[in-house]
Structure 1
Amino acid sequence: MSSNRVDEVLTFPAWPQHGPEERAGLLRALDQEGWWRNGGSEVDSFEEEFAALHGAPRALATTNGTHALELALSVLGVGPGDEVLVPSFTFISCSLAVQRTGAVPVPVDVRPDTYCLDVDAAARVITPRTKVVMPVHLAGQFADMDALAELSSATGVTVLQDAAHAHAARWRGRRVGELGSIAAFSFQNGKLMTAGEGGALLLPDEESYQEAYLRHGCGRPPKDRLYEHRTQGSNYRMTEFSAAVLRAQLSRLEEQVAVREERSRHLMAALARIPGVVPQGRDERGDVKSHYMAMVRLPGTTAERRLALVDRLISHGVPAFVAFPPVYRTSGFWEGPHTGDVDDLAKRCPVAEEIGNDCLWLHHRVLLADTPVLDRLAEVFASAVAAG
């Protein structure tokens, strides 16, 4: 990077993005008779539109993505005594949601290229207690859904997709809702579409939708006037205001995904030319990747050097973050139902151990920038790496 750019601060598109569509939606929700889903129409409309875009028979909006996972696990009958396979390298909501049901999360190693669940590793830890396997489509890169379908067919273990990063992504031309399993989404502030918080499930059939609907409203059926609580559940209902914002966000999602697809290939090629930098790989069967994060590794680095690199990038205006630690290296993991110990899990998850130490990510808003800005970002990144 030339000397006159040493102190340069880059500017990227803001996130969240909003326009007159969000403002109109909020006013539309405000002017309704009711501000919750049982008195308005925004949540119902959002669910229909979200399901249609993702090719699912039904969708159900929730308070947030973690609750979406908890609700999905409940619908699938997961409870105390059961085991759920989760990637060892992911945000901790995956294991926390399992533990909130009383079940045991079983961390599974991930692939060194895509950072997604290693299906062969999953197969090795299945027991008679294993009820669900939860692949995460990390950074919008699909886990191997073909291999997971084969594993499910052979073992009877149900697949639950964590699609919190995979809005509008496609696997071999199929959308998330066309893959035949429940999928959970998040609309947290940093996600690819957002209302600050929020979540949703895609349901593959009417039976699972009806069960999820009951459980997301404290067990009450639609239009209940008699407090008829038919099953266990909680209040996972989305507000009309969140749904109104998300309808507007949904309207520009596919266009933004297309831009990120193009810009990501440009940026990752530039970062790959920097010595010591290895971008996240891509399984080309995932023919549309939504790019929640731009993730790279610095193999052989230390956690301290990685943090210093992130700090240098932030000083130049780059929204950079250290990647997740393996879920079992957090204190919260050990406060819920669990099995094994840190040393045992670390030996079983060597790839997650490495990635958790040397990976960092850039927020997806960088991928909405023009290519000259991305070229400057690559220069800043190379300089920050060279600084040690």
Structure 2
Amino acid sequence: MPTSNPVRARPWPSWPRHDAAEAEALRRVVESGEWNGVDAPAVLAFERAYAEFLGAEHVVTCTNGTVSLEIAMAALGIGSGDEVIVPPYTFLATASAVLKVNALPVFADIDPDTYCIDPDAVEAAIGPNTTAVIAVHFAGHPADLDRLRDICSRHGLALIEDSAHAHGASWKGQAVGTFGEFGSWSFQGSKNLTGGEGGALSTGDARLAATARELRNCGRRPGFGWYDHFSLGGNWRLTAFQAAVLSAGLARLPEQIARREACAELLDRELAELPGIVPLARDPRTTAHAHHLYAFRYRAEEFGGPPLPEFCQALQEHGIPATPGYPRPLPRQPLFAERNFDVAATGWRPEHVPTRYAELDLPVCERACAETVWLPHNLLLAEPEEMWDVVTAVALVRKAKRTA
């Protein structure tokens, strides 16, 4: 039965945020008549601004963060017969993009403290056909870039940073998305920097950047004709309208990062005092956490509370928009669990697949799926003292269950 006295009755900050800057930027694009094209002024301006924000040599925009992963792998020459190591606690696109370039995703378990891919599991998963590692900066916390770069360097592998959650995150003072061969970005509507949709790649390699630009523009190259196509790319161009909105959002992103950090710090400190509530750890080498999600573990037996879905429902009734995290490891999705990829799907023969995805042993990910709660990043745009509403609601749910 819904509570009659919720902790939080007023709304949390809305998302996406916008003001007159977006309206003015869109007006300029409309009046310019240059609404599309890789050379549209608004597109070029955003690419320059985002590259400067990241400290990257090159930024190449595209339609979304799924396509950006596909372009990155295609630019690296990854395809049939190759294996790419990915984490199991992530959105579908991290692994499905590997299939889209005709390669095989290999799942490596996650670190129990940060939920980013575990470097030890990565090293154990490397085989003779491994060509790349995709590291997801989960919830905005950087993966262990020191160890992952070392592993990739020693084994001759490409490192692709899936930075869809991590706009503004940094590792030892350097922006994520600038450590690997490519950083991959999403600007989908829920992301911390959004154009409604959109994506990008960041890289320090001029050759890879040129290849990525060619692929996202139907295989065309600068200096050649409109009907000259050199590679199997696609029409994966960002519009000038999206670029204009992104530029406006980028201007306010640093302040939003600072606000999220302050709110998350209070939640980390206070929620950790409650039995059965365990905030995710923060590696001391993380100099900025983007906090696309605020995630914490809910251990019902220690908390003395209901199962995870009921716990989240109880928080929602108190005005806290809590949801369970990913409900199952990615390889348990029917796409992976119900088929054995063979020559028709990836160019592989069945005997090359060491095990069926449904049979993979991923104990850390399994536990994460069973006990993790997510809070959306827009909640962290409130004033830091408003985080007490979250803490109070969690404490009240515990009290109500223990006195029921």
* 172-181 vs 67-76, greater mean Cα deviation: 172-181
| Structure 1: gaps of 5 or more residues | none
* 135-144 vs 366-375, greater mean Cα deviation: 366-375
Show the 5 A alignment for 1:1-388.
5-6=5-6, 8-38=8-38, 40-222=40-222, 224-299=224-299, 305-324=307-326, 325-334=328-337, 337=341, 339=353, 340-345=355-360, 347=361, 349-387=362-400
Q: Give the secondary structure class of the aligned counterpart of 2:135.
A: coil
Residue type at the aligned position of 1:127: G
Residue type at the aligned position of 2:233: G
Partner deviation per Cα, 1:301-342 (whole Å, 9 max, x = no partner): 69x821122222223332222211211111123468484224
CA distance in 2, matches of 1:159, 1:94: 13
Q: CA deviation at 1:5?
A: 4.1
Q: Alignment RMSD, CA only?
A: 2.0
| Structure 2: gaps of 5 or more residues | 343-352
* 314-323 vs 156-165, greater mean Cα deviation: 314-323
CA distance in 2, matches of 1:168, 1:128: 35
TM-score of the two chains, using structure 1 as the length reference: 0.94
State the aligned residue count.
383
CA distance in 1, matches of 2:151, 2:145: 10
CA separation of 1:329 and 1:382: change in aligned 2, threshold 3 A: farther
TM-score of the two chains, using structure 2 as the length reference: 0.90
CA distance in 1, matches of 2:199, 2:73: 14
Note if contact 2:159-2:180 (Cα within 8 Å) is conserved in structure 1: no
* 336-345 vs 111-120, greater mean Cα deviation: 336-345
Q: Give the secondary structure class of the aligned counterpart of 1:235.
A: coil
CA distance in 2, matches of 1:180, 1:230: 26
Note if contact 1:95-1:333 (Cα within 8 Å) is conserved in structure 2: no
CA distance in 2, matches of 1:119, 1:194: 30
Q: CA deviation at 1:92?
A: 1.3
Note if contact 1:10-1:316 (Cα within 8 Å) is conserved in structure 2: no
CA distance in 2, matches of 1:135, 1:4: 44
CA separation of 1:34 and 1:112: change in aligned 2, threshold 3 A: same
CA separation of 1:356 and 1:14: change in aligned 2, threshold 3 A: same
Q: CA deviation at 1:99?
A: 0.9
Note if contact 1:63-1:238 (Cα within 8 Å) is conserved in structure 2: yes
* 20-29 vs 334-343, greater mean Cα deviation: 334-343
Partner deviation per Cα, 1:335-380 (whole Å, 9 max, x = no partner): 68484224531x2x11001001111110011111113321022111
Partner deviation per Cα, 1:62-90 (whole Å, 9 max, x = no partner): 11111111111111111111110001111
